[in-house]
């Protein structure tokens, strides 16, 4: 095998999936290029230039929605138009119905209207179609909107934050699952643990900690209780796997059923939503640089997991156990304790995922997390961690989770219908596993 | 030797297949776009609902993006987040969780996008819904009682296969019981409800529940099953016990499989729902909203009794 090809194989192993992620992003950027409207005060600026040519004394009606950006647009446009010497006949910030009322009022005054300045969203309202027939006294006003620039929807700030936000729960799960898969195990219970943690935490808040009046400290306490329960369950399934030498597949399948049932019992099959507003802080709040708290948490989890795997003895032991359990045991690695750690950490992170989801949805229900274990396994495998243990890393898992998120988001943005989405996602997972095989064939292990 | 090549091929192939499916959709931007997220596309009811919304939207020069939450409230929230980025003009939801949908509604409200609900209402305290369209489940429950009284000639012992987890089913059972009580008072009907068992709104659980029912009440005459899968589960249990035809069943929904069973005489009748009407009115609500007209907060679509005579004439069952 030539040196160059070896280098290529190494490069692909380390950066292959990151490359796929970049390609996917580029692809979805290319196919989602659309007119992006300016908004807020900026949009008002661009309109004033356009309208000041219309001549002084022209009457203008400003129409915008009730959102913050639109209100800002309407406010600054009014000020600027008046400075430029135009007459602002009215400002609407609301629904089509409000626009109808205002148009009717101006029509009834018989004053006539030269221009309607509407945000692009409002310009599609059908109330603004056929104006001369509906409101004859207005004349035939020209409808103008702020200029647009071409930019991919995929690459807008809000969308990228969406992608990150949407994958937080699966990503946190898959970080924990990476530990277990590295030891050559699997944990199928993570989806059910999401539901259990969400239900336990919200039920504690509702029944014991003051319901919608609960304080921040109570919320933290409830979240910790959910996490603690999940950690205990993880320890238990780890203990079963280690001491009875059961296949992890079977042990965690049983735990998956039991935990899901427990969540249904504790919630009586209903969703628990009597929690305070502030419980959405983690799931919906934003912090530094407008980064959602949940995304920050996810990054912290991955940073910690990465350090653990690459810089600590425990991390090396995880690889050793998965690579060759017998050899690890003979060289003094506490195999049992390492595995216990992997299952406990995995369950704890699943619980954390449940807390994040409960916060995002401001409620807890036993149906949360259904089949999330499969997404998480997919993220780990797509991220290059080998199901046969001992190979892989947690940053790859993050890339894997992002690939799944980008594909989901991209398909939603381009309007691929949901049956096709499933097929595509399945093919992606298959492709990732095949890629893993090809790497194996040409990687350093191939020569053994 | 060819490893890098096949790797590249994989990626290119994937990109090409994605491109093929997406390019058409990205081409031009029509007048108004409606984002739709239904409960599940695996149930023909919601498939019909989504299809009729798409057809009605097309008739008004609008286009739809149809997605499905598949019972996952978090997934549905993500779908709405994507609608917001795409700047759709309106959103129609069949909430996956009536109570947890609040944060999703608030998100859309904040982005200034009006939200409409179909079939399942929001029970959340927060978030604004412009208009809701659904089956008149309470009235449908009454019709079910009418059908069962008719089938049994006004006397006998009946059971209900219930599923009180769903708001709509609670209304059906309530309507059934109230109509039965009224007819007992006014028309000398002597039907007795001897059991109300959970059937999970599903075939398998309803079949087991019916088997137990037949053990506990060997003289049972009739069953009201709150939807078609429950009714079909009851049919299966009766067939297994060799008692088909002896116990009259009234279902609910009018799914194709349920209608076929009515034609075969295995189910006596169904109050049938009209997902296509629900879809049309949901879209007409959006049209009204965008034209600045008033939209009614709640529209209930009445059900209709569908018996064997209707099934025999139904062209869809030929």
> Hey, is the C-beta of A15 within 8 angstroms of any chain B C-beta?
no
Return the residue of B nearest to A162 by Cα. B81
What's the confidence (pLDDT) of residue B166?
79
Interface test with B, best of A7, A73, A124 (most B CBs within 10 A): A124
Contacts of A276 in chain B (CB under 8 A): none
Full domain range(s) for residue A442? 157-447
Between residues 395 and 424 of chain A, which touch chain B (CB distance below 8 Å)?
A: 408-420, 424
Query: Does position A78 have pLDDT exceeding 80, yes or no?
Result: yes
The domain locations on chain B are: 30-129, 137-272+307-317
Claim to verify: residue A306 and residue A403 sit in the same structural domain: yes
| Closest CA in chain A for residue B114 | A95
Residue A60 belongs to a domain:
yes
Q: Is residue A202 part of a domain?
A: yes
**Of A129, A152, A175, which residue sits at a domain end?**
A152
H or E element in which residue B36 lies: strand B32-38
Give the distance, in angstroms, between the CA of residue B193 and the centroid of all CA atoms in the same chain: 26
- Chain-wide mean pLDDT for chain B? 88
For A117-147, b/e burial (b = at least 16 CB within 10 A) is: bbbbbbbbbbbbeebeebbeebeebeebbbe
pLDDT value for B175: 97
Contact across the interface for A416 and B22, Cβ inside 8 Å: yes
Domain membership flag for residue A397: yes
- Tens digit of pLDDT for each residue in A332-379? 999 999 999 999 999 999 999 999 999 988 889 898 998 899 999 999
More confidently predicted of B229 and B30: B229
**CATH (domain of A137):** 3.40.50.2300
Topology classification of domain B30-129: Rossmann fold (3.40.50)
pLDDT at A445 over 70: no
Domain match, A146 and A284 both: no
Domain boundary among A104, A123, A152: A152
Over residues A46-67, the pLDDT tens digits come to 788 777 776 667 788 999 998 8
Is A9 domain-assigned?
no
From A70, A99, A435, residue closest to B292, measured CB to CB:
A99
Cβ-defined contact of A8 to B66 (cutoff 8 Å): no
* Strand, helix or coil for residue B33: strand
Q: Which of residues 165-224 of A touch B (CB under 8 A)?
A: 165-166, 169
Give the burial class of B8: count Cβ atoms within 10 A of its Cβ; 0-12 exposed, 13-18 middle, 19 or more buried: exposed
Q: Is A8's Cβ below 8 Å from some Cβ in B?
A: yes
Residue pLDDT, tens place only, A411-439:
888 877 777 888 888 888 888 778 767 76
Show the tokens assigned to B155.
Answer: 């006397």
Residues of A within 8 A of B91 (CB-CB) are none
**Which site among A127, A166, A282, A415 would you substitute to test the B interface, given the most B Cβ atoms closer than 10 Å to its Cβ?**
A415
Partner-chain contact B165 A95, CB within 8 Å? no
Question: Where do we find the tokens 């209707």?
Answer: B310
The answer to whether A367 contacts B72, with C-beta atoms less than 8 Å apart, is: yes
Identify all chain A residues contacting B72, using CB atoms and an 8 Å cutoff. Answer: 367-368, 370
Q: What is the mean pLDDT of residues B128-139?
A: 96
Question: A416, B293: Cβ pair inside 8 Å?
Answer: no
Q: What gap in Å lies between CA B298 and CA B293, rounded to an integer?
A: 15
Is the CB of residue A123 less than 8 Å from the CB of residue A141? Answer: no
Closest by CA position to A272, among listed A215, A204, A353:
A204
pLDDT band per the 50, 70, 90 thresholds, residue A298:
very high
d(CA B56, CA B47): 14
- Please answer yes or no on whether B290 and A96 come within 8 Å at the CB atom: yes
Indicate yes or no: CB of A27 within 8 angstroms of CB of B18: yes
Q: Which of A152, A186, A207 is the last residue of a domain?
A: A152
Please answer yes or no on whether B73 and A365 come within 8 Å at the CB atom.
yes
Q: How close is the nearest chain B Cα to the Cα of A22, in Å?
A: 12
Q: How confident is the model at residue A13 (pLDDT cuts 50, 70, 90)?
A: low
pLDDT bin (cut points 50, 70, 90) of residue A441 is low
Statement: residue B83 has pLDDT above 70: yes
- Summarize pLDDT for B213-226 with one digit per residue, the tens: 999 999 999 999 99
Question: In this structure, which CATH number among 3.30.1490.20, 3.40.50.2300, 3.60.15.10, 3.90.1070.10 belongs to the domain B137-272+307-317?
Answer: 3.40.50.2300
Question: For residue B71, which residues of chain A lie inside 8 Å, CB to CB?
Answer: 367, 370
Q: Which are the contacts of A178, defined by CB distance < 8 A and separation ≥ 6?
A: A305, A309, A380, A383, A385, A392, A393, A394, A397
The reported pLDDT for the residue numbered A12 is 66
Reduced to 3 states (helix: H, G, I; strand: E, B; else coil), residue B41 is coil
Three-state SS string over chain A comes to CCHHHHHHHHHHHHHHHHHHHHHHHHHHHHHCEEEEECCHHHHHHHHHHHHHCCCCCCEEEEEECCCHHHHHHHHHHHHHHHHCCCEEEEEEECCHHHHHHHHHHHHHHCCCCCEEEECHHHHCCHHHCCHHHHCHHHCCCEEECCCEEEEECCCCHHHHHHHHHHHHHHHHHHHHHHHHHHCCCCCCCHHHHHHHHHHHHHHHHHHCCCHHHCCHHHHHHHHHHHHHHHHHHHHHHHHHHHHCCCCHHHHHHHHHHHHHHHHHHHHCCCCECCCCHHHHHHHHCECHHHCEHHHHHHHHHHHHHHHHHHHCHHHHHHHHHHHCHHHHHHCCCCHHHHHHHHHHHHHHHHHHHHHHHHHHHCCECCCCCCCHHHHHHHHHHHCCCCCCCCCCCHHHHHHHHHHHHHHHHHHHHCCCCHHHHHHHHHHHHHHHHHHHHHHHHHCHHHHC
CATH code of residue A295: 1.10.3470
According to the model, what pLDDT value does residue A288 have? Answer: 75
> Which residues from A are below 8 Å from B18, CB to CB?
27, 410-411, 424
Residues of B in contact with A367 (CB under 8 A): 71-73, 97
- Whether A257 and chain B come into contact, CB under 8 Å, resolves to no
Chain B contacts of A166, Cβ < 8 Å? 78, 81
Tell me which chain A residue has its CA closest to the CA of residue B125: A273
Contact between A414 and B22 using a beta-carbon 8 Å cutoff? yes
**Residue B55: C-alpha distances to residues A213, A420, B22, B132, B278 (Å):** 46, 20, 21, 19, 13
State yes or no: pLDDT of A14 exceeds 70. Answer: no
CB of A368 within 8 Å of any CB in chain B?
yes
Q: How far apart are CA A405 and CA A160, in angstroms?
A: 10
Cβ-defined contact of A370 to B71 (cutoff 8 Å): yes
**Chain A residue with the nearest C-alpha to that of B290:** A125
CB contact under 8 A, A124 and B86: no
Domains B30-129 and B137-272+307-317 share a fold: yes
Q: Are residues A388 and A440 in the same domain?
A: yes
Q: Residue A318 domain-assigned?
A: yes
Residue A46 phi/psi, 5-degree rounding, is -65, -30
Residues A369 and A337 in one domain: yes
Check B81 against A166: CB less than 8 A apart. yes
Query: Nearest Cβ partner of A442 from B3, B29, B70?
Result: B3
> Which pLDDT band holds residue A136 (cuts at 50, 70, 90)?
confident
Task: Judge whether residue B20 has pLDDT over 70.
Answer: no
Stretch A238-259: mean pLDDT: 94
More confident residue, A58 or A325: A325
Edge-to-edge strand ranges of the sheet holding A87-93: A87-93, A59-64, A115-118, A142-144
What is the rounded CA–CA span in Å between residue B18 and residue B29?
20
Q: Looking at the domain assignment, is residue A29 inside a domain?
A: no
For the stretch B226-264, pLDDT in tens is 999 999 999 999 998 888 889 999 999 998 889 999 999
Burial (CB count within 10 angstroms: exposed 0-12, middle 13-18, buried 19+), residue A1: exposed
pLDDT > 90: percent of chain B: 71
Measure the CA angle with vertex A171, ends A169 and A177; round to 5°.
110
pLDDT in tens, A161-190: 888 888 999 999 999 999 999 999 999 999
For B153: left if phi > 0, alpha if psi spans -120 to 50, otherwise beta; the answer is left
CB pairs under 8 A between A and B: 169
Within 8 A of A105 by CB-CB distance, chain B residues are none
For residue B22, the distance in angstroms to the closest alpha carbon of chain A comes to 6
Output the CA torsion sign for A437, A441, A443, A448. positive
d(CA B46, CA B231): 19
Q: Are residues A104 and A190 in the same domain?
A: no
- pLDDT score for A7: 73
- Residue of B85, B205, B289 to mutate, testing the A interface (most A Cβ within 10 Å of its Cβ): B85
The total domain count for chain A is: 2
* Domain membership flag for residue A163: yes
pLDDT at A10: 67
- Whether the predicted pLDDT of B149 surpasses 70: yes
Cα(A149)–Cα(A128) distance, integer angstroms = 23
H/E stretch holding B248 reads strand B248-250
Greatest CA span in chain B, whole angstroms? 88
Same domain flag for A274 and A319 = yes
Tokens describing residue A176: 């924990």
Q: What is the ipTM of this complex?
A: 0.72
* Residue A252 sits in the same domain as residue A356: yes
Q: What are the tokens at B46?
A: 């919601």
């Amino acid at each position: 095998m030539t040196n160059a090809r070896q280098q290529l194989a190494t490069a692909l192993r380390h950066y292959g999936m990151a490359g796929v992620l970049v390609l996917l992003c580029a692809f979805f950027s290319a196919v989602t290029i659309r007119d992006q409207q300016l908004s807020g005060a900026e949009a008002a600026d661009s309109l004033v230039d356009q309208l000041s040519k219309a001549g002084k004394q022209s009457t203008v009606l400003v129409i915008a929605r009730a959102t913050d950006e639109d209100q800002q647009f309407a406010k600054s446009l009014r000020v600027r138009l008046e400075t430029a010497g135009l007459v602002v006949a009215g400002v609407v910030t609301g629904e089509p119905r409000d626009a109808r009322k205002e148009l009717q009022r101006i029509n009834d005054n018989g004053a006539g209207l030269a221009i309607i300045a509407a945000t692009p969203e409002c310009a599609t309202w059908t109330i603004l179609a056929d104006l001369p027939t509906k409101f004859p006294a207005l004349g035939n006003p020209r409808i103008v909107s702020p200029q647009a620039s071409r930019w991919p929807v995929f690459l807008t700030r809000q969308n990228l934050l969406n992608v990150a936000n949407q994958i937080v729960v699966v990503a946190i799960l898959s970080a924990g699952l990476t530990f277990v898969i590295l030891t050559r195990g699997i944990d199928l219970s993570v989806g059910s643990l999401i539901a259990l943690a969400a239900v336990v935490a919200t039920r504690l808040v509702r029944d014991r900690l003051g319901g919608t009046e609960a304080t921040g400290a109570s919320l933290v306490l409830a979240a910790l209780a959910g996490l603690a329960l999940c950690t205990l369950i993880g320890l238990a399934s780890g203990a079963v796997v280690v001491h009875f030498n059961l296949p992890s597949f079977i042990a965690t399948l049983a735990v998956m059923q039991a935990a899901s049932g427990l969540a249904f019992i504790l919630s009586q099959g209903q969703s628990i939503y009597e929690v305070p507003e502030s419980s959405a802080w983690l799931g919906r709040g934003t912090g530094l640089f407008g980064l959602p708290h949940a995304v920050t948490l996810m990054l912290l989890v991955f940073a910690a997991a990465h350090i653990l795997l690459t810089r600590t003895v425990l991390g090396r032991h995880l690889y050793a156990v998965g690579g060759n359990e017998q050899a690890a045991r003979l060289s003094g690695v506490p195999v049992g304790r390492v595995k216990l750690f992997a299952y406990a950490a995995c369950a704890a992170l699943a619980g954390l995922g449940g807390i994040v989801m409960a916060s995002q949805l401001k409620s807890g229900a036993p149906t949360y997390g259904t089949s999330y274990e499969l997404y998480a396994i997919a993220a780990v495998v797509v991220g290059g961690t080998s199901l046969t243990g001992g190979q892989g890393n947690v940053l790859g898992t993050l890339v894997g989770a992002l690939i799944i998120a980008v594909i989901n988001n991209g398909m939603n943005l381009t309007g691929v219908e949901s049956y096709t989405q499933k097929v595509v996602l399945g093919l992606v997972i298959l492709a990732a596993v095949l890629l893993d095989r090809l790497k194996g064939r040409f990687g350093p292990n191939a020569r053994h | 030797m060819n490893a890098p090549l096949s790797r590249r091929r994989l990626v290119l192939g994937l990109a090409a297949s994605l491109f093929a499916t997406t390019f058409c959709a990205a081409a031009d931007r029509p007048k108004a776009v409606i984002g739709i997220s239904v409960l599940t596309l695996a149930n023909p009811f919601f498939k019909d609902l989504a299809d009729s919304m798409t057809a009605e939207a097309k008739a008004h020069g609008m286009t739809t993006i149809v997605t499905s939450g598949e019972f996952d409230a978090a997934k549905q929230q993500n779908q709405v987040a994507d609608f917001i980025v795409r700047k759709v003009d309106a959103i129609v939801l069949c909430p996956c969780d009536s109570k947890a949908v609040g944060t999703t509604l608030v998100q859309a409200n904040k982005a200034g996008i009006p939200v409409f609900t179909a079939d399942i209402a929001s029970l959340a305290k927060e978030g604004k819904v412009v208009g809701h369209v659904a089956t008149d489940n309470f009235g449908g429950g009454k019709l079910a009682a009418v059908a069962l009284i008719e089938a049994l000639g006004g006397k006998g012992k009946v059971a209900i296969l219930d599923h009180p987890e769903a708001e709509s089913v609670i209304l059906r059972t309530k309507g059934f019981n109230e109509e039965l009580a009224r007819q007992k008072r006014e028309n000398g009907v002597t039907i007795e409800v001897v059991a109300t068992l959970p059937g999970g709104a599903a075939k398998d659980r309803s079949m087991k529940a019916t088997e137990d029912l037949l053990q506990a009440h060997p003289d049972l005459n009739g069953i009201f099953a709150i939807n078609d899968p429950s009714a079909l589960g009851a049919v299966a249990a009766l067939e297994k016990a060799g008692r088909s035809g002896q116990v009259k069943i009234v279902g609910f929904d009018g799914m194709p499989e349920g209608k076929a069973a009515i034609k075969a005489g295995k189910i006596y009748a169904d109050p049938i729902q009209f997902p296509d009407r629900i879809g049309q009115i949901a879209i007409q609500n959006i049209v009204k909203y965008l034209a600045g007209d008033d939209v009614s907060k709640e529209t209930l679509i009445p059900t209709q009794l569908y018996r064997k005579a209707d099934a025999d004439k139904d062209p869809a069952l030929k």
